[in-house]
Structure 1
Amino acid sequence: MTGNPWVDDEDDDTWLNQKIPGPEQTDGEAAASPLPYLDPEVEAALAAEGPPEWLGTRWRTIEPGQQWDAWNWLRRWVDWFIREYRLTTSDVPACWYRHPDLTAELYAAMCMEYKVWEEGAPGLAPMMMWHPNVAQLRTRLKEMTHEAGCVQAGGHKEPVAYSGTVGAYELDYDEDDWITAASTIRTEKVIDRPTTGVRIIRARAVDTDGVEHGSSDPLGLRARSVAEVGSVLLAYTSATPGQAGVAVNITGGPEDLTVVWEESPDGTTWADLNTAEDEEALHQGADFSTDERQ
């Protein structure tokens, strides 16, 4: 560093050895490095080189003291945008600032155009983001301008309220119905079905004082039906000279069914096939396998 960039004499580096007044130094605390003095007016000028603080915030939330500046920034940008991309009044009417939708669209475009060039270095953002969106932007602007009807009327045209009771783009709410719908309470409860017969339930609306304000119609829950066993089928899954894999498929029946394996020498007399070794092999998937019930 050769000198203070904010003084004329760049060879004068005496400012480097000057200390700026600051908080008192505590015992054992390392001394802070002295910083160069920056004139308040110079600091303000440097800060002014960046974007205005409102740029990039929602248009509707810009502070009142900044709105005049924001409107003028936007107008200058819109004038540039029209000249640069050769837009006509069918794209942007002269009264665009009277239409909130056009203003919001143009303000968003201004923020985007600033963003893609903000880094000040070659990049793909202008080509990949800005210009493709310009084409979409023009389409949206044309639709908004056509719906506004100002160009066709030869001057600014205020939107028409066809309902006759509220302004354009305002809904004529049924306030009582809105309050009823907006204050809706929805909750759920899982209830077990009875094992036999019918279980009748209802729900009541009760306030904090226990006063009932309404009740539902009764709802009946019948006992859970159990499907009969449709079939029990065996099938080979694998076969080797020493072992064979067999799978059973059971359709229907209660949930607590278990599989009992049996064997017979002649198909008439049956004995339990499940031994301890068989059970271990079953869990390991070696000798026998049981498909999941369908």
Structure 2
Amino acid sequence: MNEREDYDAVQHLSNEMAAGPDPYARAGSADAIGGHTVNWSRLSDDSAQTEWIRLREWVEWFTVRYTVPVSVVPNCWWKHGALVEELSALWIAHLAAFDTSDTGLGAIGWHERLALAQSRLQRAGAGCASTHNETRPRSWVNATDEQEWNAWVAQTHAH
């Protein structure tokens, strides 16, 4: 290198250092941040048991760390499908937000998502602050008139 090239290289490095790290640049692998998803309806029995244990550990940590009242996440949270889905989504988002490959914006993003989830959490676990109140799941058995359904589908997609 000649003197001019040395000077340019030092200037380039100096400019990069002054600008600081690029918050949008990811170091490490090209894998998705977090890289963990759970689709409860498609898990094998063995996988489900592992995921339930992991989710329970996270829910117990989360409710203590964020002082979530029993009226929002009752002790019977695992008996409420909508609440399980909401907590599961928050758990997975938390894993991604605090993944080592995150750029540093994940933590604030997770807290923003948590704020948006608060009302959904309250609705999903409502009514079970002291004891579990069994809710009857909706049933589709005999709820749809099949002839009417088939006619509607045929008419809707007829061109």
TM-score normalised according to structure 2 size: 0.69
Indicate the residue corresponding to 2:37 in structure 1.
56
Q: Which of residues 130, 137, 150 in structure 1 aligns to 2:128?
A: 150
Whichever residue aligns with residue 86 of structure 1, its letter is T
* Structure 1, unpaired ranges of 5+: 1-52, 161-167, 188-294
Whichever residue aligns with residue 128 of structure 2, its letter is C
Indicate the residue corresponding to 2:90 in structure 1.
109
The SS at the match of 1:183 is helix
Does 2:138 correspond to 1:169?
yes
Query: Contact between 2:80 and 2:124, CA under 8 Å: does it hold in 1?
Result: no
Indicate the residue corresponding to 1:124 in structure 2.
105
Does 2:158 correspond to 1:178?
no
The SS at the match of 1:86 is coil
**Which structure has the greater CA radius of gyration?**
1
Query: Contact between 2:71 and 2:128, CA under 8 Å: does it hold in 1?
Result: no
Cα deviations by residue, 1:45-88 (Å, 9 ceiling, x for unpaired)? xxxxxxxx9x3142222222211111000000000000110001
Q: Which of residues 54, 62, 72 in structure 2 aligns to 1:91?
A: 72
TM-score normalised according to structure 1 size: 0.39
* Structure 2, unpaired ranges of 5+: 1-34
Query: Contact between 1:59 and 1:107, CA under 8 Å: does it hold in 2?
Result: no
Structure 1 moving runs of 4+ over 6 Å: none
Q: Structure 1 81/68 Cα, relative in aligned 2: closer, same or farther at 3 Å?
A: same
Indicate the residue corresponding to 1:24 in structure 2.
none
Percent identity, aligned pairs only, is 27
**Distance (Å, rounded) in 1 between the aligned partners of 2:147 and 2:131:** 40
The SS at the match of 2:75 is coil
Does 2:55 correspond to 1:77?
no
Does 2:113 correspond to 1:133?
yes
- How many residue pairs get aligned? The number is 123
Query: Contact between 1:91 and 1:142, CA under 8 Å: does it hold in 2?
Result: yes
After alignment, is 71-80 or 88-97 more displaced? 88-97
Q: Which has the higher contact order (CA 8 A, sep 6+)?
A: 2
Whichever residue aligns with residue 157 of structure 1, its letter is N
The SS at the match of 1:87 is coil
